[in-house]
Amino acid sequence: MILPDSLNVWRDTQHVGTLWRGTDGRLMGFEYNDTWRQNGHAISYSLPLSQKAWQPQDLLAHHWFANLLPEEQARAALIKRLGIPDDDFSLLATIGGDCAGALTILPSDHMPPSRTLPSPLDDNYRELPLDRLAQWAGARERYALMNEGALAKRPRLSLAGAQDKIPVRLWNDTLYLPIGIEPSTHILKFAVEGRERVILNELYLNNLARLGGLACPRTTMVYAGRHPYLMVERYDRLGIESGHVERLHQEDLCQAMGVSRNQKYQAYGGPRFGEIVQTVREACRPSAASIQQLLRWQIFNVLVGNSDGHAKNVSLLQDSRGRWQIAPAYDLVGTIVLGYDSDMAFSLGGEFNSMQLLPRDWQAFSEECRFSYPFVKRQIQQMVTMLADLSDSVILKEQLQQAGLEGKGWTRLQQQRQHIQKQCRRAERW
């Protein structure tokens, strides 16, 4: 496969700019289109329109676009399946057609489609066979679709993160693959082999968060054969129930702060939570509602034992006027209960262990974030009251059953429920 040295970045049918490969073959530069600079909005808080271009060696543009890509096992599987070099530009050239947010990244000989289609589906969508879905859910041939058929008709799917995910279009209770560059409406999330409990846990926490008033995408669990997977409604799409799906632009906080995906954890050179708060405070105007949601998200993570609430798991959404606001919470998983690293992605006053927090840690956290300590304590108490009442409730159990919980699923969640109750009791000391 011959890969290009430059790519066009589009928002719908408008040319945003050009992404190019540097002389080293790996780093990327980016330049805004002049017309877009005059009439459009910055694609990132870290890439303002006041500057026309970013050279590869600057790393800012490279970090932003590389943050669109899958990571870890998912990335390795894609590279192997596609038979391309393991670099960010080559991956974007191959799969950048349906990214998180509103941008489409295409070779110069590809144009984005017109948004005046007379029907919700055309030949750029392929019905997803149930037998193939069962294979993917069972961790077999998960990325085989990536090199099926003619090159122009292969899926161009880019979803960031380490978990295996496939974007799909849901229409009339049937799943379709966007095999051209059409937008998806939902994300299918599969369990890593041997970690099937992650699916059940995320279903529980997402529904708990929604029931408790935390903005969170609608999440259901579906079975393909005996293998469960999650179906998550995309919050960066409009018109999901209609014939014409529109993309909403977004960026995660690594992108907004101009840092590498390898710096998403504080312990690995990433930002502190206070720096996250300050970026949101500056980017979102007005910022009060976004800041409060961000704080509630972090308190929720502490109480449920989600140590993977890192800088790529919090995002900003951009409206039609270019204004940013905090996006709904996503990827909520009780990592401590599941046996992953217990250290939080962000420390609270220097303490990374959520089960050893003391009032002085919350006081230091409040000072770092420029919050008043009484305000933080009120937010903690409100979240504690909500979780203590709902986490083991009949209301939540019924909601989970409606969302696809089957059989002994509620019993298998007992450890997670117990962890939340213990954390709520510990919070009485805060």
pLDDT digit string, tens, across residues 43-75? 999 999 999 999 999 999 999 999 999 877 778
Please report whether residue 186 resides in a domain: yes
Kindly report the backbone phi and psi dihedral angles of residue 14, in degrees, each rounded to the nearest multiple of 5, phi listed first: -100, 135
Q: Is residue 172 part of a domain?
A: yes
Q: Is 239 left (phi over 0), alpha (psi -120 to 50) or beta?
A: left
CA angle at 94 for the pair 218 and 166, rounded to the nearest 5°: 20
Assign 73 to helix, strand or coil. helix
Residue 36 resides in a domain = no
Residue 238 lies in a domain: yes
Instruction: List 222's β-bridge partners, or say none.
Output: 229
Question: Residue 116 has what pLDDT?
Answer: 47
Burial of 172: CB neighbours in 10 Å, binned 0-12, 13-18, 19+: exposed
Residue 290 lies in a domain: yes
> pLDDT at position 153, please?
45
350: in domain: yes
- Which residue out of 87, 164, 308, 331 is catalytically annotated? 308
Contacts of 247 (CB under 8 A, 6+ apart): 11, 12, 101, 102, 103, 183, 236, 237, 238
Which regions in the chain score pLDDT beneath 50? 116-118, 144-158, 160-162
Predicted TM-score (pTM) of the model is 0.90
Residue 308 a catalytic site member: yes
Range of the domain at 293: 122-430
Residues 6+ apart with CB under 8 A from 38: none
Query: Would you state the pLDDT for residue 95?
Result: 82
Sheet of 227-233: strand order equals 125-127, 174-178, 165-171, 186-190, 227-233, 219-224
Q: How many distinct structural domains can be found in the chain?
A: 1
Look at residue 111 and tell me if it is in a domain: no
Alpha helix (H) ranges present in 272-323? 273-283, 288-304
Q: How far apart are CA 94 and CA 240, in angstroms?
A: 26
SS3 386: helix
**Measured torsion, CA atoms of residues 33, 64, 298, 267, in degrees rounded to the nearest 10:** -160
Q: At what angle do helices 288-304 and 414-426 cross, to 10 degrees?
A: 110
Give the pLDDT confidence score for residue 139 in this predicted structure. 59
What CA–CA distances, in Å, run from 358 to 16, 169, 343?
48, 46, 16
Confirm whether 9 is domain-assigned.
no
Query: How much is the CA Rg of the chain, to the nearest whole Å?
Result: 21
Q: Which of 301, 340, 79, 312 is nearest to 195 (CA)?
A: 340
pLDDT at 2: 65
